[in-house]
A and B are shown apart, each in its own frame.
Chain A
Amino acid sequence: MYARFRNSRERQMQHSRSTGSIIATAVMTLTLTVVGTASSYAQAQRSADPEARVRMLSNKLSLLERLVSKSPTAVRARGDGEDVAREILEQAEEALAVAREVFAGANYDSAEISINQAFQLMAKVSRTLGKPKTTPQAEQYKYSGLHERVVTFTNALERVYTEKGIDSTSEQADLQILRHGIEEAETLAKSKDYRDANRTLGSMAEMVEIALTRARHQETLLHALTFESPEEEYVYEKGRNRSYEMLIGLLRNKQGVDATKLRFFSTVVEQNDAVRARADTLAAAGDLPGAIEHLERGTERLAKALRALGLSF
């Protein structure tokens, strides 16, 4: 803009240049104003909804009432021997009382402060009390999961040792400890002492997990698609076909809105039913390899149909 002009043509261009830049600046300003107003409007809407704020404060107040009077934390804090917690709870009750008063007097700013204070005090009460004791039902539920896991892992560990031909004393001793631990836990569980059973099982779980990690460190296991019999493979194929069929069914129920799509769905399902029927006939007649191949092709067609319906996999 301030460069020297070499000739009159440049001078002319310079003149239009400045006009052009004025237009650009004007448009830019307009855009920024529009965008700016949009966001500041949103902001204004957010903060300038006093009714929403009062509703929120009223919700918080009623929640606080419940927390201070009926929550497990409050009940525990009022129990025996919890002096520190009870003191803090009393502070929370005071803050709640102030909040109630101030809210009734429509002084919402102070109400908010007292309400937040009360919440923080309640959280402090709970932190002071520490974790609550678990219920017997929770311990029983935990036991069933833990027990299944430890047994499954111990069996897996045994399989690993057998597969590798490890029968040294230390590994076998590990297995013994695990089996013994499981038995002990089962006995405790029978007498409904799930808490101790879980404690035992917990340490067994840690042990077996570390043993498995060590036993299988940096290995690669191949789960080849080898079947022990054609019957097994046939069952596997049927299961695979069924899983795709379920997907089509799900999509049909939720997506099939227009007539073309519905017809396509029905055709696909019918075709697949025919495939399964034919495969069953072949299998019944003893031609398992034929049945398996038929099913495989049917599943492939199903997968193609699913992709045509918009599923990408």
Chain B
Amino acid sequence: MKLQSRVMRFAGVGLVLCIVGSSVPIHDAMAQGNDPNAFNRLMAPKSSRNPPPAEDGIHDPGSPGTASLQPPRLAFDALPKTNSGNYVDWNKSLQDTKIAPRYDRLDPDAQPVIMDLNIVREVKGSMPNVVYPHKQHTEWLDCSNCHPAIFIPQKGANQISMAEILLGRKCGVCHGKVAFPVAECRRCHSQPKTPAATAQ
């Protein structure tokens, strides 16, 4: 009798967990369908974040190279986390010297010329203004990467909208492709408007 109830208990728990466990990955498919309660597509469940190359959907598991490639999770374990993109806070990693990427191909000690200039772009509506920090960008990039091809270094000369960013222009040339995507509004829209401005 005792054994039977034990087995029943196990089976019950197991069944519940099978159902729960299998529903977690399926929501990905539903999110792209016509489900009105679909979750934000940009948020992957933790279990499917940073999969190893053999399971990531683009690497060919049949290629001998795929098995030799370092799984991202191994590298990301020691780095501070965020909620989007690679799920790693690269700027913080650099600041905390958890990584030490070279600024020059051959010289490991070359230091970047960092420009510390903030540009505050006022936006229409009630969203906080955007603060663009040159400092964090010039730690990684050269002036020529953005100026003048992507951004004209002159006030009023660049028309930027969320649509353009999503289309992959202006900020969207990197953000949404290799730098963190526009999943967290406050990372850019970080300067609240003064009450007088919002009241307008």
A and B are interacting partners: yes
Q: Mark A297-313, 1 if CB is under 8 A from B, else 0.
A: 00010010010001111
Nearest neighbor of B122 in chain A, beta-carbon distance:
A225
Bound Cα distance A296, B161 (Å): 13
Q: Is the CB of A72 closer than 8 A to any CB of chain B?
A: no
Q: Known interface pairs A20-B6, A46-B62, A216-B117. Does A152 touch B152 (Cβ–Cβ under 8 Å)?
A: yes
Q: List 30 A-B contacts (CB under 8 A).
A: A20-B7, A24-B10, A145-B144, A148-B148, A149-B148, A152-B148, A153-B147, A156-B154, A210-B113, A212-B115, A213-B116, A216-B117, A217-B117, A218-B116, A219-B117, A221-B118, A221-B155, A222-B122, A223-B156, A224-B122, A225-B122, A236-B159, A243-B159, A243-B164, A244-B161, A244-B163, A246-B163, A312-B41, A313-B165, A313-B166
**One of A11-19, A57-65, A102-110, A274-282 contacting the partner:** A11-19
Q: Find residues 24-42 in chain A having any chain B CB closer than 8 Å to their own CB.
A: 24, 42
B38 within 8 A of A: yes
Q: Which residue of A lies closest to B43 (CB)?
A: A312
Nearest residue, chain A, Cβ from B31:
A310
What CA separation (Å) do A244 and B118 show in the bound complex?
27
Interface string of B29-46 (1 = CB under 8 A from A): 000101000101110000
Q: Please tell me which one of the listed residues B153, B164, B183 contacts residue A156 in the complex, with CB atoms under 8 A apart.
A: B153
* Given contacts A153-B147, A222-B122, A312 and B183 within 8 Å (CB-CB): yes
A222 to B191, CA, bound (A): 11
Contact (Cβ within 8 A) A149 B147: yes
- Asked whether, in the complex, the Cβ of B167 is within 8 Å of the Cβ of A247, the reply is yes
Question: Any chain A CB within 8 A of the CB of B162?
Answer: yes
A7 at the interface (CB under 8 A from B): no
Interface residue from B6, B122, B167 paired with A16 (Cβ < 8 Å): B6
Question: Roughly how many angstroms separate A47 CA and B66 CA in the complex, as a whole number?
Answer: 12
Please state if A313 and B182 are interface contacts (CB–CB under 8 Å): yes
Docked complex Cα distance between A23 and B6 (Å): 10
Interface residue total, chain B, C-beta cutoff 8 A: 50
Bound CA–CA A232/B144 (angstroms): 30
- Residue A80 at the B interface, CB < 8 A? no
Q: Knowing that A47-B64, A240-B159 touch, tell me 15 more A-B residue pairs with CB under 8 angstroms.
A: A12-B2, A19-B3, A24-B10, A46-B61, A49-B62, A153-B143, A212-B115, A220-B120, A221-B118, A223-B120, A223-B155, A223-B156, A225-B122, A240-B161, A313-B165
Query: Do the beta carbons of A239 and B120 come within 8 Å of each other?
Result: no
B67 beta carbon closer than 8 Å to chain A: yes
Report whether over half of chain A's contact residues are helix, strand or loop; otherwise say mixed. helix
Quick one: CB contact mask for A238-268 with B, threshold 8 Å, 1 for yes? 0110011011001000000010000000000
Instruction: Given A42-B54, A221-B118, A312-B40, verify A243-B167 contact (CB < 8 Å).
Output: yes
Residue A209 CB within 8 A of the other chain = yes
Given A16-B2, A221-B117, do A239 and B159 touch, yes or no (CB 8 Å)? yes
In the complex, the chain B residue whose C-beta lies closest to that of A239 is B159
**Minimal beta-carbon separation of B171 from chain A (angstroms):** 12
Q: How far is the CA of A255 from the CA of B121 in the complex (A)?
A: 33
Which B152-196 residues have a C-beta within 8 angstroms of A?
152-156, 159, 161-167, 182-183
Contacting residues, chain A, for B64 (C-beta < 8 A):
46-47
List the B side residues contacting A244 at CB < 8 Å.
161-163
Shortest beta-carbon distance from A223 to chain B in Å: 5
Q: Do A152 and B116 have beta carbons less than 8 Å apart?
A: no
Nearest to B131 among chain A residues (CB) is A220
Judging by beta carbons under 8 Å apart, are B40 and A149 in contact? Answer: no
CB proximity to A under 8 Å, residues B1-50: 2-3, 6-7, 10, 32, 34, 38, 40-42
Q: What residue in chain B is nearest A152 (Cβ atoms)?
A: B148
Residues of B contacting A313 with CB < 8 Å? 162, 165-166, 182
Bound form: Cα–Cα A16–B8 in Å: 13
Set of chain B residues within 8 Å of A311, measured between Cβ atoms: 166
Question: Is A23 in contact with B7, judged by CB distance below 8 angstroms?
Answer: yes
Query: Is B161's CB under 8 angstroms from A225's CB?
Result: no
Known contacts: A23-B7, A152-B153, A156-B154. The answer to whether A310 contacts B117 by CB under 8 A is no
> Contact between A225 and B123 (Cβ–Cβ < 8 Å)?
yes
**Pick from A217, A225, A247: contact of B116, CB under 8 Å:** A217
State in angstroms the CA–CA spacing of A184 and B156 once bound together. 31
Give chain A residues whose Cβ lies under 8 Å from the Cβ of B116: 213, 217-218
Determine if A45 is an interface residue (Cβ-Cβ < 8 Å): yes
Interface: A43 (CB within 8 A): yes
Q: Check if B167 sits within 8 Å of A213, measured CB to CB.
A: no
**Which A residues lie within 8 Å of B121 (CB)?**
223
Interface centre among B32, B40, B41, B143 (most CB of A within 10 A): B143
B residues 48-87 touching A (CB-CB < 8 Å): 54, 61-64, 67
Most chain A CB within 10 A, of B147, B149, B152, B163, is at B163
